[in-house]
Amino acid sequence: MPRRNIENRDDSRHIGRRQWLSALGLAGAVTLAGCSGNGGDGSDGSDGGGGGGGEVEVPDFPRFGVGDLYGSEVARNLAREAFEESEYDYGFDGDVMVNPEGDQVEIDIYHSAASETNQLLAEFIAQELENNLGISVTPEAIDGTRFSNEYYSGDPEGGTDTVNGEEVEWSNPGPRNPGPRSVTSNEAWDMSVNFGLNTYPLNPLTNQTFFDGANANFNPVGYYPQFDVESLFEQARQATSRDEIRQAFVDIFANLAREQPYIMLTLGDDIIGYNPDLTGPIENFSNGWDLPAWHIDDPSVSGSYDTVTGASFNTLNPLYNNESGAGTAIERAIDPGYTFDENQEYFPLLYDMSTEDGEVWTFELRDNLQFSEPYGQVTAEDFVYQIQEVQQADWANTADSDSWEGVEVEQTGELEFEATLETSNVLWPQTYDPYLYPIPRALLEPYVEEEDVEGLQQDEELLELQFSGNLGPFELEEWNRGSGTEYVRNDEYYLRDIDEGPDLFSEGPLFEEASISVVQEQASRLGALETGEADAAAIPPEQYESYSEDDNVTVRQVPTPYNTIISVNQRANGWNTGPGNMFQLVPFRQAMAAAIGKEELIQGVYRGLASSHFTWQPRWSEFYPSTDE
């Protein structure tokens, strides 16, 4: 709630953790020389799917892409297991993987046109799959927003399909899971490295949005789990302590490591260059939670805080955004309900949350929150109406609709309401499920009465955040589609009148203006940082050392929740090289994971500034399973 080498964030404020996606690999270019160790010569002469090397013994917690599970021999043997499962006659002709017509398997991999690092990540993957599996892979550059809209999303159709012998109905289809595998996006595609997904390191229960069955809320690739993931998530949901949650996820993480729903590659930090005169940024997951206290030189109100990014914003509508870059742009002008401080402790922004048993949660709003005219004070009624009539409505299909499924909400006072969960969850705030932006009831009512989802998505007041009142540090002056956002200081910001937080909150924000500029060319983004035109920008891995020695830039490694993965399209419009879809078969996804050397990738592309990814959690998370050490 949506990493390493990110970029549709401005890399300054990381409280928007509810977003699912973030653009990957947007830091810079790297050389690939010497990065394709193949672990075998790949010339066993086998010409078919059976035989040639024997089955691979995959451990309970496999570490594909390293050691004995990396290289040509193991990758080809896993591929042969997949050929045996397929009804079509795929195989090897010498070094080359061939389709039933005898032609070399040829597939595409999409990468961000705005990122040289993302491009060279795709080129490295293509080289590894060619060397170790005999697949011809063509990297294709594409605008990230276009890929998200036309390739990674589909028109919700719903339907049914047989999954693990049982009929599954898509009861709540959405753009990121429009239905069974037969329901596809508008454009066909094979693989992509455009996006990383949020690992939710503060509470992995939120991963159910990706993996809680084929009908999970987010499943653009059409992944069908082959283990009883629903039961395991139910066990995890019933846990009553952090230790119990950690133990409950061992089996989930082990199965995900085996099945490779997305080909897991690396987890890393954002490498961010800042204005050296800027006080505030920290090397912490919660970097930016206290942005209103950040300042340049003396802590007085002056100047402008300007950042650059390579990815444009698809929407600024708080109800429908699920990308981290747009989340940052939204939160310049309107705070969400809460955040987490540098100790990863809950910090109330618009509302505090409390519970005695983890089942019934009380929300207490601050009494100094105001919408823009004519909407008046923010009350509990606004939140309750939004939850009941929009977030929980079948017709609205918001980005967070699954977060409120089964939650009973009741207003208990003008500034207080309660939420009762179906089962106790002592870490509910850490899931980001109750992470809400305030929206006036009167603004929503016309769309609710007409069940007008298109109107709600395109409402100008929502898209331009015109209702934000005193709810954010800045006021959005202009959203220039494709080029960024511009803000002015909010002189009425509510946070100046609270008792918690840093002393400088009483003066915040300490900038007269702010901006987020979309600049496609990496060299131009870095140039803006070097000349002081920008106060923050992503640094490419290969330039980390040189910028670390530059007195004009302060470089920080900032942990993020997002991973580097290959999305493989398991839907009917994936695998465009022949009949069937080999991506649907677990042994084939394992073969791909085994063909790509993680350490070679980390050293060659990310210059050592990342760690290998096996378990869907970063190592700094308290939920990282010890069985993978």
Q: What is the CATH number of the domain that holds 451?
A: 3.40.190.10
Residues whose CB is less than 8 angstroms from the CB of residue 234 and which lie 6 or more positions away in sequence, other chains included: none
What confidence score (pLDDT) does residue 541 get?
84
Residues ≥6 apart with Cβ < 8 Å to 604: 30, 31, 32, 33, 34, 35, 124
Q: Is the pLDDT of residue 28 over 50?
A: no
Same domain, 105 and 138: yes
Domain assignment present for 38: no
- Residue that terminates a domain, selected from 498, 533, 568: 533
User: Are 349 and 378 contacting, i.e. CB atoms less than 8 angstroms apart?
Assistant: no
pLDDT of residue 115: 83
Q: Are residues 498 and 570 in the same domain?
A: no
Examine the domain organization and report whether 312 and 198 are in the same domain: no
In this structure, the number of other CB atoms found within 10 A of the CB of residue 545 comes to 12
pLDDT at 69: 98
Rounded Cα gap, residues 352 and 344, in angstroms: 15
Reported as a single tens digit per residue, the pLDDT across 68-116 is 999 999 999 999 999 999 999 999 999 999 999 999 999 999 999 988 8
Closest-CA residue to 559 (of 411, 344, 404): 344
Q: Is the dihedral of CA 534, 540, 542, 545 positive or negative?
A: positive
Does position 66 have pLDDT exceeding 80, yes or no? yes
Residue 9 lies inside a defined structural domain of this protein: no
Q: How many CB atoms lie within 10 A of CB 449?
A: 9
SS3 268: strand
Question: Which residues, in sequence order, are CB contacts of 129 under 8 Å at separation 6+?
Answer: 135, 137, 592, 595, 596
Residue from 31, 6, 29, 32 nearest 17 by CA: 6
> What does the block give as tokens for 594?
């085994």
Predicted confidence band of residue 14 (pLDDT cuts 50, 70, 90): very low
Q: Of the candidates 533, 548, 568, which is a domain's last residue?
A: 533
- Domain shared by 86 and 112, yes or no: yes
Closest by CA to 202, choosing from 617, 626, 627, is 617
Looking at the structure, tell me whether residues 136 and 175 fall in a common domain: yes
Q: Which residue has the higher pLDDT, 235 or 440?
A: 440
Residue 349's SS3 state is: coil
User: Can you give the residue range of the structural domain that contains 215?
Assistant: 56-265+560-610
Number of domains present in the structure of the chain: 2
Amino acid present at 429: P
Give, for 383, the enclosing helix (H) or strand (E).
helix 380-386
pLDDT of 297 > 60? The answer is: yes
In a domain, 625, yes or no: no
Tens-place pLDDT, residues 516-536: 999 988 899 999 999 999 999
Show Cβ contacts of residue 195 under 8 Å, excluding neighbours closer than 6 positions.
21, 22, 23, 24, 144, 148, 152, 565, 567
Q: State the number of CA atoms in the 13 A half-sphere of 12 facing the CB.
A: 29
197 in any annotated domain: yes
Domain-located, residue 374? yes
Query: Hey, what amino acid is at 446?
Result: P
Q: Which stretch, 315-324, 427-436, 507-516, has highest mean pLDDT?
A: 507-516
Q: Is the pLDDT of residue 512 over 90?
A: yes
Contact 605, 32 (CB under 8 A): yes
Q: What pLDDT is recorded for position 31?
A: 20
Which pLDDT belongs to residue 54?
A: 76
Q: What is the mean pLDDT of the chain?
A: 90
User: Does 243 share its domain with 300?
Assistant: no
Task: Tell whether 377 and 405 lie within a shared domain.
Answer: yes
Report the chain's C-alpha Rg in angstroms: 24
Q: Where are the alpha helices (DSSP H) in 459-521?
A: 460-463
- Structure confidence by residue, pLDDT tens digits, 138-193: 999 999 889 999 999 999 999 999 999 999 999 889 999 999 999 999 999 999 99
- For residue 552, is it within any domain? no
CA atoms within 13 A on the CB side of 420: 5
| Confidence label for 24 from pLDDT (cuts 50, 70 and 90) | low
Are residue 301 and residue 253 in the same domain, yes or no? Answer: no
Question: Do residues 290 and 391 share a domain?
Answer: yes
Distance in angstroms (rounded) separating the CA atoms of residues 577 and 559:
38
Residues 528 and 573 in one domain: no
Q: pLDDT at position 266, please?
A: 96
In a domain, 554, yes or no: no
Report the b/e string of 136-165 with b at 16+ CB within 10 A: bbebbebbbbbbbeebbbbebebeebebee
* Residue 322 pLDDT: 81
Q: Is 218 contained in some domain?
A: yes
The CATH number of whichever domain residue 94 belongs to comes to: 3.10.105
Residue 477 makes CB contacts below 8 A (sequence gap 6+) with 486, 487, 488
Whether residue 156 is preceded by a cis peptide bond, meaning omega within 30 degrees of 0, is: no
Band (29; pLDDT cuts 50, 70, 90): very low
Pick from 533, 548, 582: which residue ends a domain? 533
Q: Are residues 260 and 294 in the same domain?
A: no
Chain centroid, CA 464 distance in Å: 23
500 in the same domain as 363: yes
Strand segments (E) across 24-159: 91-93, 96-98, 106-112, 136-142
Alpha-carbon distance of 17 to 198, in angstroms, equals 8
Mean pLDDT of 309-321: 90
- The residue type of 37 is G
pLDDT for res 147: 94
pLDDT band at 215 (very low <50, low <70, confident <90, very high): very high
Its pTM surpasses 0.75: yes
